[in-house]
Chain A
Amino acid sequence: MNILVCVKRVPAPGARINITSDGQQVDTAFLGFTVSPHEECAVEQAVQLIEKHGGDVTVLTLGPAEAEEQLRTAVSVGATKAILVPIDTADWDPQKTAQAIAKVIADLEAANGKYDLVLFGNESADSCGYQVGVRAALKLARPIVNGAKGLEIDNGVAVIRRESDAGVEIYKLKMPACVGIKEGINLPRYPTMKGRLASKKVAVDRSEATGETGGLKLITLRRPPERASNTVILGNGPEAAPAVVDLLEELGVFK
């Protein structure tokens, strides 16, 4: 089977995020970059599926030229082909991104046949737009389910497991289909030495990005107000236990 995974290059989570003086973007001078966490899991899931069923995993990103690094990371953990759709900025607005991605996918499919699955991350870690996958799926006239915490293939049908407050829901989509993957579906592997070598050798194809600007426009980024920190120190070490239990009693969580 042929699987395409769309990934985004984002600053590594965990760091304090600063903003450039014009308020237009995250100041990345001191940040490392990574594949957005949900998409890292999407790559892993795709690799597990081809290990079981055979086939190819193509990884695609729309992003700056530096995003080639994230494509190579994906190859180091098992993706077989890589496509960069270069743009001059860190990202485009969701409508424009979806349009560009869908166009590239449609062109690839016209030449090579359809991908059985196109995977997206549920949302990107940085812009949190929650919509590129859905928009691209609609343009490709394919069904999509987001929030996937399980994805198996059964006789040409993608079986998707997703968690809700009420329980675990099962969705079944006839392929070709699109799926929005969520972190927790698997534990992404570390690259092997063989994978690292493959990632250095792989040819990264380039496709042109085309799209019309959408209606969601960034005005400025800012940091949320810091909470005043007036931490009450209840004590040091195990001797603090009575003070902690007093607090629990006061809050009514322990009677």
Chain B
Amino acid sequence: MATYSTNEFRGGLKLLLDGDPCVIIENEFVKPGKGQAFNRVKLRNLKTGRVLEKTFKSGESVEAADVMDRDLQYLYNDGEYWYFMDNDSFEQYQVDASAMGESVKWIKDQDICNVTLWNDAPILVEAPNFVVLEITDTDPGLKGDTSGGGGKPATLETGAVVRVPLFVQIGEKVKVDTRKGEYINRVKD
């Protein structure tokens, strides 16, 4: 069992806490002149995404989490699971809905996603920061409208709904920021 002492703590280090893999976001050393030293640590639970704070007695050791990030290609969805492939090893991974999270709204076949593996099992899938998707449904807008002001909802080929300017039409492709769920611009083929 690999462990890390508090002296090794830094942003990005992965620990196992209460059975869940977590990543350190911030680590602060706190010590009274005469008294016990502590490490006050802010972490993100990699399964739930929740941010938590923990305080460790300095010098303590904490179990390491065997977590790594991989770029995997999305292949298909069979109704229950999503399947991804490592393009170097051709190894395939089966991902459940909870690990997919919000990413299901943004990805389509062949997209490359950052997948977090814990003990070699996928626990988190991050959609690419920007995706280009086709509009499958939206109200017809006014001709000659420019990008300023207003907007309307548009359904994308993955089923996600984003607000787009009035001039954007069905069949056109748009670039979307998946972190904010926001339209960026139109994309010409």
A, B assembled together = no
Contact surface of B with A, Cβ cutoff 8 Å: none
